């Protein structure tokens, strides 16, 4: 197997190099998409309390600036769109966030998925095409050998060439199968991310409504024990929400 693969790489290099380039390109696209997905995520468990404290302390404008400075898609695009329309009411916020999800965030999340799927489909066909070309050359050699010797013994001599021709199909499949699997996983991740966006958007509307009604957004800090140190009392007093 190793000797056959080495012979394919060395003797059939004009087939091997295009397939290798396709594999490298596919790997680069998958890694690029993974990095984009990692940068799009936000730890909402840590972000929402900080956002609520900023909204209560600095108001809607301060909360918007806080969200715009984040790297994740949910605060940087979804929350900013909702806060831009906060003065117009919950319905306007909901419409603005729905438009941002549909027109900005989802296209960003689907970036590179079309080339990945295209490579997955093309790799198999390119491998099969190269195999067919190699098989045509092999059968032509078998025919010449049969005509020269007057017998069909040339087929045995070309068995290795037939095996080499199949390496092109194998490399195409080795590129296509992981790409199809990766594409399905990316699509599933996008669907789950969309559900998280809708849920977080509703939480934003609730926080803004509570802020307008004057309700506390940050739970009050527990009161220190009577014998607590003065430093702890001062820290609790500083962390308490200010009206």
How is residue 230 written in tokens? 């003065």
Q: pLDDT digits over 132-141, tens only?
A: 887 777 777 7
Give CA–CA dist 224/237, Å, rounded.
10
Question: Where is 31: in which H helix or E strand?
Answer: helix 13-40
- Does 206 have pLDDT greater than 90? yes
pLDDT for residue 19: 84
Q: What is the mean pLDDT of the chain?
A: 83
Q: pLDDT digits over 153-184, tens only?
A: 455 555 566 666 777 788 889 899 999 999 99
- What percent of the chain stands above pLDDT 90? 55
Helices (H), 103-158: 106-109, 113-149, 154-157
CB-CB contact of 227 with 71 (8 Å): no
Could you identify the residue written with the tokens 């990766």? Answer: 182
- Does 224 have pLDDT greater than 60? no
Could you identify the residue written with the tokens 């045995």? Answer: 156
Q: Which of 115, 129, 124, 122 is nearest to 27 (CA)?
A: 115
Q: Which of 91, 115, 153 is nearest to 32 (CA)?
A: 115
Comparing 110 with 148, the larger pLDDT belongs to 110
How is residue 110 written in tokens? 């689907």
- Return the ∠ at Cα 137 (arms to 10 and 163), rounded to 5°: 55
């Amino acid at each position: 197997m190793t000797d056959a693969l080495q012979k394919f790489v060395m003797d059939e290099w004009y087939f091997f190099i295009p397939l290798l380039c396709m594999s490298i390109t596919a790997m680069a696209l998958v890694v690029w998409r993974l990095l984009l997905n990692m940068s799009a995520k936000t730890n909402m468990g840590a972000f929402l309390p900080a956002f609520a404290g900023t909204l209560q302390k600095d108001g809607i404008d301060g909360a918007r600036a806080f969200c715009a400075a984040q790297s994740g898609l949910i605060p940087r695009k979804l929350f900013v769109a909702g806060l831009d329309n906060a003065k117009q009411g919950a319905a306007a916020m909901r419409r603005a966030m729905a438009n941002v999800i549909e027109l900005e965030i989802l296209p960003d999340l689907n970036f590179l998925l079309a080339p990945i799927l295209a490579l997955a489909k093309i790799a198999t066909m390119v491998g099969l095409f190269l195999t067919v070309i190699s098989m045509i050359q092999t059968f032509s050699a078998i025919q010449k050998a049969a005509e020269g010797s007057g017998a069909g013994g040339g087929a045995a001599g070309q068995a290795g060439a037939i095996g080499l021709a199949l390496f092109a199909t194998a490399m195409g499949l080795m590129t296509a199968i992981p790409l199809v699997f990766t594409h399905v996983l990316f699509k599933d991740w996008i669907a789950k991310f969309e559900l998280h966006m809708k849920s977080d958007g509703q939480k934003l509307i609730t926080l803004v409504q509570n802020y307008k009604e004057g309700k506390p957004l940050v739970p009050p800090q527990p009161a220190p024990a009577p014998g607590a140190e003065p430093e702890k009392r001062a820290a609790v007093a500083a962390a308490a929400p200010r009206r």
